[in-house]
Amino acid sequence: MDATVLIVDDEKHTREGLRQALEDDFDVYIAADRAEAMELLKNERIDVMLTDLRLGADDGMQLIEAAVALPQAPVVIMMTAYGSVDTAVEAMKRGAWHFVTKPLNLEALDLLIKRALRSRKLELENTSLKRQVEDRFALDRILGKSLPMQRVFETITQVAPTRATVLIEGESGTGKELVAHAIHNLSGRPKAKLVIVHCAALSPQLLESELFGHEKGSFTGAMERRIGRFEQANGGTLFLDELGEIDASIQVKLLRALGERTIERVGGNATIKVDVRVVAATNKDLAGLVADGKFREDLYFRLNVVSLHMPPLRQRKEDIPTLANAFLRELAKENGKPMREIGPETMQALTAYNWPGNVRELRTAIEHGIVMGTGARMLLRHLPATLRGEAPAPTMHRPLRPGAPFEPAASPVVLPPDLSIEKMEIRFILEALQRTRQNRSEAAKLLGISRRTLQRKLKELKLADDLPDSPD
């Protein structure tokens, strides 16, 4: 396929003369003004654009800005009879690749266009390679060779390039947010346009404002206009985590946003169009909530265009060695520890455990082992007490299978005879903080209490001063 060159000049003799001079080597298009040039740029594959600085009533600088902003931007060479250093610098700032002055040396121009084409080819190859690396990285962060995970990878790869809404279901700690990242990174939408909202962390009023924004004065404390997450994600992906927690009023607004692709800010009347791809995640049984009348059926069907179930770790135990060794490499480096391997007895304990907290709990256990170890090998004694059988595993609510009701995992509780209620509280709080890497909001959630209650308990039990600052 011949390289394509677009010549933009308001003087007919100039553009026709350049076409005749260049058409033996290139496939040449011509345009007399900015509108005609933009029409060709949008509908044809243009490799190089050669444009005059003066285009009658139009400004060639503005054409450069518009051209280089296109998804398939051409290499731009500006030509002018009004050459100056300042003009050249301004053209480069606007995105021009090179700058030439009239009268043109046709032989030199031919060589310059060929150089521009080589530059464009190299840039396209680099972009393609970068995309391949990013796409591979998007899936490589989700580890697993088991059959359930292969099904997950297949679904991600198939659904990511589409506009379809995706509902990711699975227990806490299975990696639903990593899947959302992978879907976005493979979607072709701008990498910076992934916006995440943790729905359970906000009250209904705050969540409504967070999602849709608000106008100044729309409620007490609304001191200025706020742009919501839907508007922030325009052109990209909005990830709604813990969607099963939202109340009925937000469900209505979300249904409209998904169906009509429009939103209204709280306290506002303007209808705002948005192009947002929604990926939602939940550890709740949404179908069960629909049956109980706690979640809108129409919204459920809007969200459940493509359903992706993340299997719990206990259903893919063959992935545990892969995950454990990956976490070992990452966290040993992060913690400045020389640990390089996991002992056979230790790996056996990791594989035998049922992991109610899933991959997140495994990662925490490996970090515990790294911190408590001293040598190059992680031994059984370095693991948390739950994995050594010296403490009961935490009770987690989980679905037994996709779509099944959530039931508590049974585990016997054996208490030492000298353990007081205060000591039990301290033990559970410290364990929760350890599991959440000192994130107090997450720890409170794990304990089933509010963050404020946890803060009060830390003060009452005189633990606050001895703990590191929370990352949240």
Cα 299 to Cα 78, 315, 407, 438: the distances in Å are 52, 30, 25, 35
pLDDT above 50 (res 412): no
Beta strands 277-282 and 237-241, pairing class: parallel
Please check whether residue 133 lies inside any domain of the structure.
Answer: no
Confidence band of 404 (pLDDT split at 50, 70, 90): very low
The confidence score (pLDDT) of residue 203 equals 84
For the segment 292-318, the average pLDDT, to the nearest whole number, is 94
pLDDT above 70 (res 199): yes
Which residues 6+ apart lie within 8 Å of 254 measured at CB?
211, 246, 299
Residues 307 and 186 in one domain: yes
The confidence score (pLDDT) of residue 414 equals 43
pLDDT above 50 (res 135): no
Residues 250 and 343 in one domain: no
Is the entire prediction scored with pTM above 0.85? no
Type of residue numbered 156? I
Domain with 458 in it: what CATH number? Answer: 1.10.10.60
Type of residue numbered 222? A
- Which carries the bigger pLDDT value, residue 123 or residue 348? 348
Residues 335 and 319 in one domain: yes
Please check whether residue 319 lies inside any domain of the structure.
Answer: yes
Instruction: Please give the share of the chain, as a percent, with pLDDT higher than 90.
Output: 44
Residues 46 and 25 in one domain: yes
27-58 per-position pLDDT tens digit: 899 999 888 999 999 888 899 999 988 787 77
For 424, the domain range is 415-472
User: At 370, which helix (H) or strand (E)?
Assistant: helix 358-372
Confidence band of 392 (pLDDT split at 50, 70, 90): low
Domain with 108 in it: what CATH number? Answer: 3.40.50.2300
pLDDT above 70 (res 189): yes
CB–CB of 234/189 below 8 Å? no
Please check whether residue 99 lies inside any domain of the structure.
Answer: yes
User: At 172, which helix (H) or strand (E)?
Assistant: none
For the segment 12-25, the average pLDDT, to the nearest whole number, is 89
Residues 45 and 193 in one domain: no
Token readout for 87 is 């003009």
Domain total for the chain? 4
Q: What 3-state DSSP class applies to 408?
A: strand
Token readout for 182 is 């992978």
Residues 243 and 320 in one domain: no
Residues 337 and 395 in one domain: yes
The confidence score (pLDDT) of residue 129 equals 56
Helices (H), 141-198: 147-159, 176-185
Residues 214 and 153 in one domain: yes
* Residue 100 main-chain phi, psi, to 5 deg: -130, 155
For the segment 405-415, the average pLDDT, to the nearest whole number, is 40
The confidence score (pLDDT) of residue 465 equals 64
Domain with 293 in it: what CATH number? Answer: 3.40.50.300
Please check whether residue 132 lies inside any domain of the structure.
Answer: no
Q: What 3-state DSSP class applies to 202?
A: coil
Residues 61 and 166 in one domain: no
70-100 per-position pLDDT tens digit: 877 899 998 877 656 677 777 788 888 888 8
Confidence band of 361 (pLDDT split at 50, 70, 90): very high
Residues 120 and 31 in one domain: yes
Spatial distance between the Cα atoms of 194 and 181, rounded to a whole number of angstroms? 8
214-240 per-position pLDDT tens digit: 888 877 777 788 889 999 999 999 999
Of 311, 337, 352, the one marking the end of a domain is 311
433-444 per-position pLDDT tens digit: 878 878 888 888
